[in-house]
Amino acid sequence: MIPLEFVLIITSVLFVIGAAGVILKKNAIMILMCIEIMLNAAIINLVAFSSYFGDATGQGFALFSIGIAAAEVTIALAILLNLNKLRKTVDVDEINLLRW
Cβ–Cβ under 8 Å, residues 18 and 34? yes
| Least distance CB 63 / another protein (angstroms) | 26
Please, which residue, 55 or 94, has the CB nearer to another protein?
A: 94
The residues of the shown chain that bind another protein, judged by CB under 8 A, are 19, 22-24, 31, 92-93, 95-100
Max Cα distance, the chain (Å): 54
Radius of gyration of the chain (CA): 17
Count other Cβ atoms within 10 Å, centred on residue 34. Answer: 19
Neighbours of 79 (CB within 10 A): 12
Name which of 85 and 99 has its Cβ closer to another protein.
Answer: 99
Q: Which is nearer to another protein, 56 or 78 (CB)?
A: 78
CB of 99 to another protein, least distance (A): 3
Nearer to another protein, 59 or 76 (CB): 76
| Closest by CA position to 42, among listed 65, 72, 71, 22 | 65
| Least distance from another protein to the Cβ atom of residue 27, Å | 11
Cβ 81 to another protein shortest distance, Å: 17
Please give the Cα distance from 18 to 40 (Å, whole number): 9
